Amino acid sequence: MQFYDHDQIDVLFDAETLQKRIAELGKQITEDFQGQGELVVIGVLKGSFLFLADLIRQIDLPVSVDFLGLSSYGRSFETSGVVRVTQDLSQPIKGKAVLVVEDIVDTGLTMSYLLSNLATRLPKSVHVATLLHKPSRCQVEVPLDYIGFTIPDKFVIGYGLDYKNLLRNLPFIGVNRGDTPPITL
Ligand code: IMP
C-alpha cells in the first residue's frame, strides 16, 4: 500500500496474527453459546466492522448481525464520555442473546454507555467481545468477556481503527511512531 507514510507506522499486529487470534475467539464463542439458538451480534460503528466481518466467519452458530453507530463528543483522540447514537439498531433485541463487538475499549466510557443503553431493551443476555483493550486508561470498569489483545497506552490505527477517519483499510494494526502524521492528503 502506497498511500501512507510507512516510516511513521510500526506494525503491532500483522494480518496473520489478527486472524489467528480471531479464530481462537470465534472457537471460544461457538463453545460458550452452543445450544442457545440465535446469537445477535451487534457491531459498534464505525471501528468494529472489519473485526466483526472476520469474527462472525469463525463462529459456527446461527448468527444475526446488526449495527449501532456511536460517536463521542469532544476532542478527536479522546473520549469525553458523552456519547451520541448516530445509528440505531434495526431490530428489537428483547429476549435475545447479544454479543457486542467493539474495536477497542480505552477509557470504557463508550462501552459503559452502550451497555446501559442495551439493558433498557431487555435482552436475555449481553456479552462483549473487543479486539483491543487498553486497561491503563480505564475510567469505568466494564465487563469484557472476550479480549483479542491487551495493549499499552498507545494510539493505534488500521484494521477498522482510524486516524482522522482515514487508515481504517490498513490490513494490520499499527502505532504512529512520532509526532509526524502517518498520512497527509
Ligand atoms: P473509550 O470510550 O475511551 O473506551 O473509547 C472507545 C472508542 O474510542 C473506540 O471505539 C474508538 O473509536 C476510539 N479509540 C480509543 N482509542 C483509540 C485508538 O488508539 N485508536 C483509534 N481509536 C481509538
pLDDT value for 81: 67
Question: For residue 179, what pLDDT is reported?
Answer: 80
pLDDT at 108: 94
Given ligand 1 and candidates 13, 45, 76, 103, which is best to mutate, with the most ligand atoms within 8 Å of its CB? 103
pTM of the prediction? 0.95
CB of 43 closer than 6 angstroms to any ligand 1 atom: no
Q: What confidence category does residue 1 fall into, taking pLDDT thresholds of 50, 70 and 90?
A: confident
Q: Is 73 in the pocket of ligand 1 (CB under 6 A)?
A: no
Share of the chain above pLDDT 90, in %: 82
Domains detected in the chain: 14-73+84-167 (3.40.50.2020)
The pLDDT, as a whole number, for residue 142 is: 96
- CA of 109 from ligand 1 middle (Å) equals 10
Nearest CA to ligand 1 atom 5: 106
CB of 93 within 6 A of ligand 1: the answer is no
Rounded to an integer, the average pLDDT of 136-147 is 94
Catalytic residue status for 106: yes
Q: Is the confidence at residue 112, as pLDDT, over 80?
A: yes
The predicted structure's pLDDT at residue 72: 72
Phi, psi at 85, each rounded to 5°: -85, 115
Mean pLDDT of the chain: 93
5-40 residue pLDDT tens:
888 999 999 999 999 999 999 999 999 999 999 999
